[in-house]
Chain A
Amino acid sequence: MDFADSETMTVTPPHVSEIPGAGIPGTEEKLQNWQIDRSRAPIATKIVIAGGFGVGKTTFVGSVSEITPLQTEALMTQASEDVDDLGATPEKLTTTVAMDFGRITLESDLVLYLFGTPGQQRFWFMWDDLMRGAIGAVVMADTRRLEDSFPALDYFESLGLPYVVAVNHFEGTPLYGPDDVRDALSVSPGIPVVTMDARQRVTVVDALLALVGHAVDVSPE
């Protein structure tokens, strides 16, 4: 986005009074102590939840988040010279990409954000921005459509970022073992593959533990 683009500056947010909980104590979900104390901020960490369309990313985030998952939008401007059939319409096209996220306060001074990537896989650059400083990624897979996970796997593999594969098992579908899934996805033996149910908090936490444990294992020193 061009910061000087007037188009992007005419967005009209709702007035404060219309925003649930905005700045009004008591109307918001339970406030954490670090939200009230403005003398210092906690440490912010983040994990990205990736995977194909409808694989359960939003469900995953919602199962562990201390807040109802929030959605944020990024407005993208497509430079006209990159679009070859614009012809007589040289104005820029804008596209909105939605991304949802949740939050877990792990300690009074340590917060973990979970970002669900947008399904559209052409927005790689947005992932670049998101991945900066991230602990790593949980790549969700549905055994009925394993190929949907390939773009995300390729992306994290190429960046050299820690990731794990989390097979979101939908009941009534065949249950494959982690090794079968690893083979089918050609994921190297060093990458953890876990089976989970995005609706069950305990298995979601296990998937996060697998990722952070793996990130520790591959971290230098």
Chain B
Amino acid sequence: MTGGSGRGARRPARVRPYSLTGGRTRSGHVLLVETFVASLEPADGPVDGPGDPVPTGTPGTRMLPEIRAIIELCRRMRSVAEVSAMLKIPLGVVRVLLSDLADQGKIRVYGTGRGPGQPDRALLERVLVGLRRL
């Protein structure tokens, strides 16, 4: 961009998205902002069950606080956006962490409960009825 006077004044030419993959993470989980996830741990059980430690010496060790926080928070059903907002972890990072946790069998990805693409007419009608009742 021309005419910029240093980093502060210059408008970025183009910014790359964190996802151009339709919400699909590398390991194939579709994690849209509204996708529901929850922990597979019991509601009041330990976050790290016996025989199920996060291996030491792997990148997982460094991630432990975030991972523990996610598993703890997801003892309730949460959307991806809620996990990101409540733990103050950027969306893109949360999607990677959730995807890894799903691969490890620690969280379950429930999805959105609707097909891909635009919601169908029947679902729209249900939303309409729900809004009218507010």
A complexed with B: yes
Residue ranges of A at the interface with B (Cβ–Cβ < 8 Å):
1, 3, 8-9, 11-16, 19, 21-23, 28, 31, 34-38, 40-46, 64, 70-79, 82-85, 93, 95-96, 101, 103-104, 106-107, 109-113, 115, 122-123, 125-126, 128-130, 132-133, 135, 201, 205, 208-209, 212-213, 215-216, 219-221
User: When chains A and B are docked, how far (Å) is the Cα of A209 from the Cα of B13?
Assistant: 38
Of A15, A28, A72, A209, chain B has the most CB atoms within 10 Å of the CB of: A72
Taking a contact as CB atoms under 8 Å apart, the answer to whether B92 and A135 are in contact is no
Please provide the 7 A-B residue pairs with the shortest distance between their CB atoms, ordered closest to farther: A106-B130, A1-B18, A41-B110, A43-B113, A70-B85, A125-B17, A41-B36
Taking a contact as CB atoms under 8 Å apart, the answer to whether A14 and B87 are in contact is yes
In-complex Cβ contact of A8 among B19, B65, B90, B127 (8 A): B90
- State the majority secondary structure of interface residues on A: mixed
Within 8 A of A (CB), among B7-52: 7, 10-20, 22-23, 25-26, 32-36, 38-39, 43
Taking a contact as CB atoms under 8 Å apart, the answer to whether B130 and A110 are in contact is yes
Q: List the B side residues contacting A129 at CB < 8 Å.
A: 17-19, 23, 32-33
Q: List the A side residues contacting B114 at CB < 8 Å.
A: 43-45, 133
Q: List the A side residues contacting B127 at CB < 8 Å.
A: 45, 106, 110, 112, 135, 212
Given contacts A78-B12, A221-B121, contact A23 B131 (CB under 8 A): no
28 contacts between A and B (CB under 8 A): A1-B19, A13-B66, A13-B88, A13-B89, A14-B87, A16-B72, A22-B72, A35-B76, A35-B77, A43-B113, A44-B114, A70-B86, A71-B85, A75-B18, A76-B15, A76-B16, A77-B18, A82-B13, A85-B1, A103-B82, A107-B130, A112-B127, A115-B81, A122-B12, A132-B23, A133-B117, A133-B119, A219-B118
